[in-house]
Structure 1
């Protein structure tokens, strides 16, 4: 769409929410894209309200809260590349430059002074500003001029200040601008402002729009329309400039209709009738597609009907008001004046019908959305520019393409070629990769082949997030959730027919392909990531099948691949690579790592190859057929710069956006990984029985290299795999890292790939030498400050809960991926924490930080504490190391590093000792922090375990349960370390001499009867240790010393153990352990005792807060009063009657003021 609407309106002040809502509704009803506002009476505090309430961009310039002020409102559909703002005269002259790719729009909004002398100087300043605009720019000067050019046509009385009128005429002549409305209505007399005083009406056309004379042809219309909530009229113009306002690519369901009872009734009535017409169609799929089209038309018609009556009435009233204005001016009849007033009041009342509904929705959204991690709340973040607009592309010859049509053709050509099949079956090569692959069990195949049922579909729908872009049918997940009781059985029937017939409805086969920018030159089409927007009914089916397939992935995917396999994590790969580099460097082992870059891995998965791979994994033909249905005869429609292109066939690739895509990609890549594992020597570390060959997360693959032979084999296998599967590896984007001396010379790499020595970036984390690892933290502080700056505009109006949401979900979350696997520089987290706390309070700090970090249920605000969260990550690492899956890929390397602690040669059993006895200097910083976090808690062994394996590994030193060192055994620990007698197993078979006999008796007495029984049976050969036994359970509690207090109670003590605790329990207890000094003996509420009273108080008295109201008076405290009470953390209800008892706001005996925030 190339037409946009520009409006000018003096609103006579809008500090009231209802007045502002009237402005928003007027802009919405009139479909205004750019609205010039005068007399906003705004200030910096109210500016936050404007920007929060208006769904587009709001730019304000303030004068005083009682006068002046100008602003520009841009609709959401008006999306320039950038906006440049200049406050030329504060509160009176605002300039905004909207930059598009080929041109620039310059908007100048003015509110001229009412005093003639000031107005004269103001017009001189305006002339200076206009002269600075380029003649090629599209200039729009609009606003309230408080002056006219021609008093005979534009006033019904004389011009009050001819001098300023003269300056205005000079400005118009010298700058070559023209009055748009007057150009289109050369002899018409109509006014934009009227003022009735007694029996006299003063009228003038004060509000105008000017543009350059050579651009006046871009205006299609310019009209003066009455408005009921101000004494000025709306000046509305339609402007035609190509490529300014792109229309929405396709229809989206309006989620407001889910709350509309009449729409539900209409949908139910329609669907009941439509359900009877299934026999009119050739298939259930065709019937379903037609039904979705009819639902779209029903939604559009219902929305149109709701607003058409009000819109028609408003247009009739506007016409009558214009006629009455002409009549009252010509006759001067007082009756006409009164009739004009009544009509304006009727127009205002009609608008209020819309305003009232908008206010209710606004208040509901403010209450529910401002204090919850909702899409509405996070959309308030200030964003700059257009992230998804392609302004230019490079052709195959390197020529820059800027014409929109050529851009679309180039992009469609690229993706048509990308998704075109190149698969040519090479039987011998293919068999070489598919031979020997693991197979799924028959029981699993039986589960995979089962028919769909309603419970699976309903579970898939409930797990589907709302707020995502819909597919080409426009129906969202919110629509299906709201009306599932009407459509659910039909969705199940359609899916069952699709699986039986082997084909989906057309709408499900066709995806909208949207492009997301990646790093690099965005003129290269390869630096745009395609994501398929799929219909929700398609995603329901794929989600059900993905849930089934997920249960089989562990049976066929090797542990080296961690993507899309339950129980595995991307962090496992990072831990492995980091620790392998650490061990290789410390032991001076020659080791090479090659990070293989697979070009467009998701998009190059050949469907025919995928089906062969699934057959080789033993998946049944029935289940493979279900997956094939999702990929048979599929098409994509490219969405580029807001427009849809012609559909093209998709013959390969998995759809990013489909729940199955990650699993299917992992399955297609597994033959390559299996072949590499069986062919390469890989890296064999000292003490390891098996070599490490590779580490993979989806298509991010690192291969371990031992010698030149490994490099040659790798190159040949990848070459063969490219032929067999039509995949492609980009050696130019691959990386290689060498550790060790390599006295015989480094292996030769393919295609000019070179070895690095410092480190590499893997899965978003820098690993390697210490100074290289510090690159993880180089820009963190700048990113945190940038994120905070995007929210400072809203800070004055943001609740404390809203500030916590920003800090926890948007600011601190930038650190989590780094903190899981790397230790930050000293002081960095404390510095960031200070920034966060300053943002939270925005002034005085009323509550100690230790309280602030507590959960709201405990009287805090739930603000994240970065050090405690880091400690939680370390404890989760330790939990996974000690009690995680048996095939954990990095456990062996981690044990190798831990054995360096104190040079004891102990690994996991070190965590059965007291960390304070350990010398951690020989460990990397990450592992040092591991023991420091473990020391935050007191540890107690659960002796119910029955494991000979762990009894034999039980340590004898450093505070373990069998440590008998003390005053009676001086130097015992040193002698045990020197002799290597460190565990129970090393004691067995010791020759009994006089000195050792006494020690053995002490150790024997420290053992439980069950321990002695296990050792006796072991010595007699009746029992053997089982290495698969789980690590002993360790019960944790807060390490408090002499400190105590109600805020230091252990959170969920029954679950605070090595095996049972989750991250939330770890975190909440870490907060208390780290801040135990500040929380000690602190009451949970400052109201628990009255000031000046010794001993415990019976409870607060309401009379100390307020005078009791009159009986039967409906009184409730305004929330604003509580938001000022920053000191109050929580309060109790008192036993005596008070007016609060009838308030639904206070549902329990104890409540917190965080509810008010």
Structure 2
């Protein structure tokens, strides 16, 4: 049990108080003590205090005689990993290890003054290292609820401070106020002011969800040393005693940028080249071990340098802050900014997946929120053991996981006598394809494979990232190929090369603690993925020759939408014509994981693959192992003796080939019925679309990877199909899940036969899209989707986000599921409008909209925010589908689409028109909607070429029909010629400055933040003239000096003069005077910093209680110089 005490001691500089504290601590069991308001102003005060408490490791931040000063006392039995403090001596944090679990403790003393307190809370999250076990405690000088947590309101009482604390720290880190959540109705106070009889609960402790769940007890205890009570909590930390369980390490990509790393790497590599036997495979393991050791050493040194830098800056700040001169005051702002930058860099390095495209658009606060959200979702609180019941210890749950997956990946028994029937009539490769696949792997292919891998992906169990491999592969590439060829000749890789990391993802269904509630995700090492990427790239070129068009997963030219169009078409047609039909959704239990390896190799032989390719696949499956990652802990290695290994680009192709013999049997079996694609009765259509004379287009099965459906009319059809699935199971090791196999019966007039499978008559879910008996989205599913969007928006609304971030979050994290539905299904226009209103409301938050919606939906480089426009997105998907119809790519669903599109599109593709088919129109039909929008598009654009990029169609449609340029583009024509917003978008400007530019361009800041309505209220803060954009940024004499700084900088660096006349600076007419794109970007960046420095200073003065600060323009100049320190082009 970990016992923590948080206490505002109100000064502990005297020996008497220290003795009182020591006596009280001796009487109250504890492990950690967090003290606030220590009033220690000198380092020797802190050293004397440490000498009085020798049983503790003590880290603190000095304060003043009137406020500040915090420290944390930790019993020496705990290992301290990291620590730090802020420059204002109000925060100290420590990262410790308890029972091998890393725990972060943050001690906080918030300012008493409201404005300072709000600013303090906005920076607090920078001092919190990333981990799942987070505890933030201290005196926050504000209450969660002024009605419940105060007996009466005081002079410094406000409703804003705690709200900012929630938005900036608590909600992004997914923390909770532990005491109030444990005791929601209890009235108790922790601060007691005798003067005025004020009582409040301002001493708080926040913790992550796992801290809350493991908190055994929490309460306030009177101490008597100060006017505060101590907050005491006890936390149960589950012990980790299994030696096979250890924490995971991942390479820090910033290490490869260090010169010392490159020197050490070359030194080690030369030793390997000169001493190792490169004709073996063992040297590769030695090399990777040495590489990991180098990186870990560099990471430790990097952490030390960061800590030394922070300590040095903190000491310099404290030194200059004592009796400061004017020069010291100017330097303090610069030091504070350097500290902020160092802390931000440390924070960013601690967040995984920094190069993930979903992360790039977000601020650090939003990244923290997303990272902590993902970490909490992966946390597993308990599992259910078949005999022991509920298990909550990590050791016990790990045992359940290991037993389950070792049993799953054990060899599945098969009957090879079924192989002859299964492989009777399948397509084989030609000799050219065999030769292509059998070639030796080359260095160039490996280079291309690495380039094709997306940065930011989580690595395998060795922790080595794609960024690292891209950096070192030009040096080691040829030797890597030699190692692979040696392993092929020997028939196996070295121990550990084929080890995968198995992470468990909770399924969306309700969690009941069983292992079947998880979807395993396999993470493979990058050196393994290089090989599989090369093989899959080759395999991709031949897959469409051996796999029937009914299987669409991963095959070039085929998409998941082909299956959705077909199944929706079949349901719609049979429902309209009242033809009874059953669609069987076959569920194969752990389909990828149960494939026997002998069956896999035999499939490859039957398809005609050459010996070299088959041997490479065998090489990747020989002696392969996996390690389970559970609650951020790792198990021992387990053997992977069965299943298609996932976690690489090769796995999908291998499984599709394994399943193809079954699908081929179903297609060839005369006893299994099929359905004719509506439209296939017209011979001319079939010949035109499929480019052959096959007149009976009968579909018996549709598949997307392991999602297989077939058609039934009676019980005999079901029996015949089930028998083929049994043959496949006997031959491959697979297993059909009878309880989850469902038949969707389509008929209002006829009851279904007595099928063995479960029967659904209202709706079914096909490839993630729910459909009713008319092939439409059920209304209840639409309502669920809207409610889900509202919940996600509510979650993201709890933190501070810029407009750019809100637009990106809407697109990437909130309506992604909706977009998939919109691409293939019709949704009522009223629903779309209501969802758009929800999105717009989230985008603006509490801000009154000050930019036109038609401008906001434009691209960022055009002066917009990229706000999603759902109606245009739907139309772009319809146009993409229509362009697919107008091209000559064989798609059997086109047979049904043509009657609905022929009348509209025959002018653009005459072959669509034929008098032999009826020409239909129905507003409720998907393809009618496709035809209408595609015809309008082609009439206006005149382009029938489908480039397959629906995003380009979307942006082009937005630009032609919706987008309105910013106000500045309408009034200042030369800005269009220099593509001004494209420059700002690509100039590496901070997001706040880009947003400022966008607001400025639409006169948004001028109308949004006015001083008032009367002439007196509209006066400039710094002179007697009226405040306008041109005045504050150009003609106001108060900012003469900062303008001179800008003028001299641009004159000296670019040899360009800026005339100080109205509009020339604001609208960057100067940018068009140079043809160099680099200079244009640099000038844009410089003037952006100039404008933003003035505006942020103006807002600071406007919101400040002490407006006398406006007499010091040098503070605004300091802001400008600090922004210019970040100039991204100075280093070339």
Match in the other structure for 1:852: 856
Map 1:604-1003 onto structure 2 (within 5 A). Answer: 604-679=594-669, 680-684=672-676, 687-688=680-681, 689-740=696-747, 746-750=752-756, 753-770=757-774, 773-795=778-800, 798-842=801-845, 843-883=847-887, 885-886=889-890, 888-895=891-898, 922-937=922-937, 939=939
After superposing the two structures, state which structure 1 stretch, 699-708 or 370-379, moved more: 370-379
Q: Does residue 1084 in structure 1 map to residue 957 in structure 2?
A: no
Q: Which whole-Å CA distance do the structure 1 matches of 2:400 and 2:289 have between them?
A: 31
Query: C-alpha displacement at 1:762, in angstroms?
Result: 0.6
Structure 1 distance, partners of 2:271, 2:974, is 68
- Alpha-carbon spacing, 1:475–1:446, altered in 2? closer, same or farther (3 Å): same
Contact 1:38 1:111 (8 Å CA) reproduced: no
Shift in alpha-carbon separation, 1:577–1:43, aligned structure 2, 3 A: farther
Match for residue 154 of structure 1?
A: none
**Residues 371 and 1086 (structure 1), Cα distance of their counterparts in 2 relative to 1, 3 Å cut:** farther
Conserved? CA contact 2:240–2:395, under 8 Å:
no
Q: Secondary structure at the match of 1:508?
A: coil
Structure 1 140/286 Cα, relative in aligned 2: closer, same or farther at 3 Å?
A: farther
What are the residue-to-residue correspondences of 1:384-403 with 2, within 5 Å? 386-397=376-387, 399-403=389-393
Report if aligned partners of 2:938, 2:944 keep a CA contact under 8 Å in 1. no
- 1:1115 alignment partner, SS class: helix
Could you tell me how far 1:583 is from its partner in structure 2?
0.8
Give the corresponding residue for 2:343.
Answer: 358
Q: Distance in 1 between matches of 2:199 and 2:1089?
A: 56
Distance verdict in 2 for CA 1:1155–1:602, change over 3 Å: farther
2: distance between equivalents of 1:307 and 1:1061? Answer: 47
Other structure's SS at 2:825 match: coil
Shift of 1:289: 0.9
Per-residue deviation, 1:488 = 3.1
Alignment partner of 1:497 is 2:486: yes
Aligned-residue offset at 1:677: 0.4
Partner of 1:326: none
- Alignment CA distance shift 1:378-1:354 (3 Å): closer
Aligned-partner Cα distance in 2 for 1:853–1:276: 60
Report if aligned partners of 1:36, 1:109 keep a CA contact under 8 Å in 2. Answer: no
1:707 & 1:354 partners in 2: Cα distance? 74
- Structure 2 residue aligned with 1:462: 451
Change (3 A) 1:880 1:136: closer
Q: Does 1:558 align with 2:548?
A: yes
Distance in 1 of aligned mates of 2:617 and 2:717: 36
Q: Specify the alignment match of 1:37 in structure 2.
A: 108
SS of the residue corresponding to residue 834 of structure 1 reads helix
The answer to whether the Cα contact below 8 Å between 2:203 and 2:231 also exists between their aligned partners in 1 is no
- Match for residue 283 of structure 2? 287
Say if 1:44 and 1:604 are closer, same or farther in 2 by CA, change over 3 A: farther
Q: 2-side partners of 1:788 and 1:139: how far apart?
A: 34
Q: Select between 284-293 and 774-783 the one with higher mean Cα deviation.
A: 774-783
Distance 1:426 1:910 in 2: 50
- The reply to whether residue 117 of structure 1 matches residue 117 of structure 2 is no
CA contact (8 A) 1:654 1:665 kept: yes
Asked whether 1:577 is paired with 2:651, we answer no
The 5-angstrom pairing of residues 965-1114 of structure 1 reads: 1036-1037=940-941, 1056-1060=943-947, 1062-1075=949-962, 1084-1088=969-973, 1105-1107=1033-1035, 1109=1040, 1113-1114=1044-1045
In structure 1, C-alpha distance between the alignment counterparts of 2:840 and 2:213, rounded to whole Å: 49
Q: Are the structure 2 counterparts of residues 359 and 474 from structure 1 closer, same or farther at C-alpha, using a change threshold of 3 Å?
A: closer
Q: CA deviation at 1:562?
A: 0.4
Q: Point out where structure 1 has 5 or more consecutive residues left out of the alignment.
A: 87-94, 99-103, 128-132, 151-163, 172-208, 219-238, 321-336, 339-347, 940-1035, 1038-1052, 1091-1099, 1119-1124
Deviation of 1:861 (Å):
2.6
SS in 1 for 2:247: coil
> CA 1:438–1:1133 in 2, change beyond 3 Å: closer, same or farther?
same
CA contact (8 A) 2:777 2:825 kept: no
Q: Is the 8 A contact 1:440 1:617 kept in 2?
A: yes
Cα displacement string for residues 65-122 of structure 1 (whole angstroms, at most 9, x for unaligned residues): 9999799999xxx999985427xxxxxxxx4669xxxxx9999999847x54368845
Contact 1:258–1:479, Cα closer than 8 Å, also in 2: yes
Q: In structure 2, how many angstroms separate the alpha carbons of the residues matched to 1:364 and 1:315?
A: 19
Answer yes or no: is 1:85 the counterpart of 2:177. Answer: yes
Would the aligned equivalents of 2:250 and 2:459 in 1 still touch at CA under 8 Å? yes
Question: 1:719-777: CA deviations, max 9, x gaps?
Answer: 1111111110012101102224786x744423xx2332223111111123357633441
User: What is the alpha-carbon root mean square deviation over aligned residues?
Assistant: 5.5
Do the aligned partners of residues 507 and 292 (structure 1) sit closer, same or farther apart at CA in structure 2, a change above 3 Å counting?
same
Deviation at 1:584, TM superposition (A): 0.9
Q: Identify the range of structure 1 (560-569 vs 643-652) with the bigger mean alpha-carbon deviation.
A: 643-652
C-alpha contact 1:597 1:729 (8 A) present in aligned 2: yes
**Which residue number in structure 2 is paired with residue 372 of structure 1?**
360
Partner Cα separation in structure 2 for residue 522 and residue 44 of structure 1: 43
Distance 2:572 2:556 in 1: 28
Q: CA deviation at 1:855?
A: 2.1
Distance across 2 between alignment mates of 1:790 and 1:622: 53
TM-score, L = length of structure 1: 0.66
Measured in 2, the distance between the counterparts of 1:1147 and 1:683 equals: 63
Q: How does 1:594-609 map to 2 (within 5 A)?
A: 594-609=584-599
Among 293, 298, 301, the residue aligned to 2:294:
298
Q: Residues 250 and 464 of structure 2 are in contact (CA less than 8 Å); yes or no, is this contact kept in structure 1?
A: yes
1:515 matched to 2:446: no
Q: Do the aligned partners of 1:722 and 1:728 also contact (CA within 8 Å) in 2?
A: yes
Helix, strand or coil at the partner of 1:436: coil
Q: How big is each residue's C-alpha offset from its partner over 1:160-184, in whole Å with a ceiling of 9 and x where there is no partner?
A: xxxx76xx7xx7xxxxxxxxxxxxx
Matched residues in 2 for 1:242 and 1:80: separation? 28
* Displacement after TM superposition at 1:547 (Å): 0.9
Whether contact under 8 Å (1:637, 1:645) holds in the other structure is yes
In the TM superposition, residue 896 of structure 1 has moved relative to its aligned partner by 5.5
> Could you report, residue by residue, the CA deviation over 1:1077-1127 in whole angstroms, capped at 9, with x for unpaired residues?
x67x9883433499xxxxxxxxx9989951495699432899xxxxxx9xx
The alpha-carbon distance between structure 1 residues 572 and 352, as it changes in their structure 2 partners (threshold 3 A), is closer
Where does residue 446 of structure 1 map in the other structure?
A: 435
**Could you list the per-position Cα deviations for residues 988-1007 of structure 1 after superposition, in whole angstroms to 9, with x for gaps in the alignment?**
xxxxxxxxxxxxxxxxxxxx
CA contact (8 A) 1:285 1:505 kept: yes
**Does the 8 Å contact 1:392/1:400 carry over to 2?**
yes
Contact 1:106–1:137 under 8 Å retained in 2: no
Other structure's SS at 1:778 match? helix
User: Does the 8 A contact of 1:22 with 1:351 survive in 2?
Assistant: no
The separation in 2 between residues aligned to 1:612 and 1:386, in whole angstroms, is 43
Q: How far apart are residue 849 of structure 1 and its match?
A: 1.9
Superposition deviation, residue 565 in structure 1: 0.7
Equivalent residues of 1:82, 1:385 under 8 A apart: no
